[in-house]
Structure 1
């Protein structure tokens, strides 16, 4: 399956039930998709973020900026950036981790280095 610059080249399953797909992109070969695995006795799913995840991702980004950089970023600016990435994969791609239907983590892949 090829989507833009991402092409799945290999999938492997490990003893913990973790399944990931290695993909080739501009950054090289990276794992970008996890079907699901158990975490703390609960099933965790990793999936590509959708428009419905943007507010949660923006809240996580705002909290991360405060915790790691001691910076208060404007929430509307963060939300606009997250929405732009979710809408346009040429800017990057977000993945979210869900437990019991709740987003509990995120990962962003981008083509250039940026603090935010």
Structure 2
């Protein structure tokens, strides 16, 4: 189900990226736009790399980030954790290791759960 936000172009859909804020009608996350902007790509240049987006959508995503920095920064941290998680699971199969999962929690941000051994 699509959930509107106070921003015209930003919505949340629990079926797309686990409810992470996205640009309406796309699968492009606000996080992806913010991370691109943090790599010194100007908002005006972002649609050149993501041609399905308009400048208005990019600026609205950055405005959403300005209003919800803690939320988006949590998603950015989660994405940084995932490669570590993948590496953790690709270690020697002869030696079981604890299986730890990180994912966003709707109420408290980042969640950590231990789910046994892999």
Higher helix share: 2
Give TM class, smaller chain: under 0.3
The TM-score normalised by the length of structure 1 is 0.23
Rg larger in 1 or in 2? 2
The TM-score normalised by the length of structure 2 is 0.23
Higher strand share: 1
The structure with higher relative contact order (CA 8 Å, sep 6+) is 1
